Structure 1
């Protein structure tokens, strides 16, 4: 992932929603061995992003509401966790690195698995 390597560590953040989604994946692991391995990976992610896990505050909530209203007016919607991740990026002026289609939220989106540098 060239994009990830080209982005300075202090400029990489995770949404608290992303962390919650990873936690849900750990809890849903089909067996204790995998669950332990996934939990270890989550601990490493938390350590890597220790001071860069973005909470949901008032600016993010306002951006979420804007996304919700805009998409509803367009006759579409998006899963709330994805909208909250996009809202976090919008509220902070960040780009979302994802395979998902969040561009319709107004957030800047890059798919680092496809991008060539």
Structure 2
């Protein structure tokens, strides 16, 4: 989600996002947390810009309110299996596990950390 918020988002990402049916897009609760962390960090050095991102995050949560996906027990157990024998970064692994459990494609700019998970990825 942060890629589409950039001043100059990657054209392929923006093209994919604008062409995807909105009702088929989901937002992971972990992504909300990552964005929140970014807003809070930004507030320490640029409060005015943080307010802009705060507003964007509020809108994002409102738009996706019925399509924000939690970490369930099934996702947590799938994440555990992804970490054996080689660990995967926690949030990335949970995102991949969510995609695997639901049969979804994970859209991410960070395919390097997720290539070994078996999740369908779109960069």
Q: TM-score, normalised by structure 2?
A: 0.81
Is 1:84 the counterpart of 2:97? The answer is no
Structure 2: runs of 5+ lacking an equivalent:
1-13
- Measure the CA separation in 2 of the matches of 1:28 and 1:19: 14
CA RMSD of aligned residues (A): 1.1
Aligned to 1:106: 118
The structure 1 segments of at least 4 consecutive aligned residues displaced by more than 2 Å after TM superposition are: none
What does residue range 31-46 of structure 1 map to in structure 2 within 5 Å? Answer: 31-46=46-61
Higher helix share: 2
Q: CA deviation at 1:6?
A: 2.6
Q: CA deviation at 1:105?
A: 1.2
- Measure the CA separation in 2 of the matches of 1:48 and 1:39: 14
Structure 1: runs of 5+ lacking an equivalent:
112-117
Q: CA deviation at 1:35?
A: 1.2
What does residue range 63-74 of structure 1 map to in structure 2 within 5 Å? Answer: 63-69=78-84, 73=85
Q: Which has the higher contact order (CA 8 A, sep 6+)?
A: 1
